[in-house]
Amino acid sequence: MEDLCNSSMRFFSDQHLCFADIIPPSEVRARIEVAVLNFLRILTSPAPAISDLPLINRKSSNRRVSQGLLTEVSWIFLSHSFCTRSLMRANAAKAFIRVWKVMEMCFQILVQEKRVTQRELFYKLLCDSPDYFTSQLQVNRTIQDVVALLRCSRFSLGIMASSRGLVAGRLLLQEPNEEVVDCSACGSSGHAISGDLNLLEKLILKTDARYIIVVEKHAIFQRLAEDRIFNQIPSILITAKGYPDIATRFLLHRLSRAFPDLPILALVDCWIRNTMHLQVWKYRDGTGGIQICLQCEMVGTPRR
């Protein structure tokens, strides 16, 4: 317990800890409690004040140290630049309060040993604090603020990725204590990817494929799976049906770690938007940070 408290106290004082961990609920609760205690300590001091919230800066200019530093899937590397949320600035007062509201709700979720999607969290906050949360975007941005403040992942806060991804082809996967799923026998619909990152991390993966192919369009994925292209080109097909969601990106990262010798190709058309999607696949691994998670080549289909 003493080690837990010490590590929780250090995370506020040590400015070199510029990453977000995947940590157990007890550690997250301890960090939230430290944040509250620090706030109250300053508020009740001889010179009382409302302290600003120090957040790691998430701007692209702050990501330079992440390049080439991927060593653990649970670490998200950022540099040492900080910004603040302040109650004393009129245009930021509600954003300041939203951070505390989200931390309060996450604390309750962790105590109950539950998980929620970002959408579920929005409805909970809309019912609990309608004056501060009127849109999903506000919730999404505040979650990012809480991650930047507590330096733990969204998954650690009890927020589960909502997945729409599919996988098909020459891949056997097995959840702990469950039957093996043969992704080549799932038909044109493929196998649905779980939104539980903890479950995805524990998957047992086996393959005899020679390639991993990221397919941007769902319709193209269905056609390739229906034609069983993975028998002609031994491959694993994966799609997020458009913009890559966290869980699907995380599974791709797991595949890249489990099978480091397999080339990863992307099948997209030549619109600039899809090139941007490719960058998300390439540079984000689903844990919420900016880091190189795999090497991905682009196989484009030219527009005519």
Please report, as a single letter, which amino acid is at residue 276.
M
Which among 123, 132, 211, 243 is annotated as catalytic? 123
d(C-alpha 292, C-alpha 53), whole Å: 29
CA distance to 151, 157, 160, 244, per residue, from 241 (Å): 30, 26, 19, 7
d(C-alpha 155, C-alpha 35), whole Å: 19
Torsion-angle region of 158 (φ positive above 0: left; ψ -120 to 50: alpha; else: beta): left
Contact assessment for residue 78 and residue 56, using Cβ atoms and an 8 Å cutoff: yes
Residue 160's nearest CA partner among 197, 191, 192 is: 197
- Note if 123 is an active site residue: yes
Catalytic residues: 123
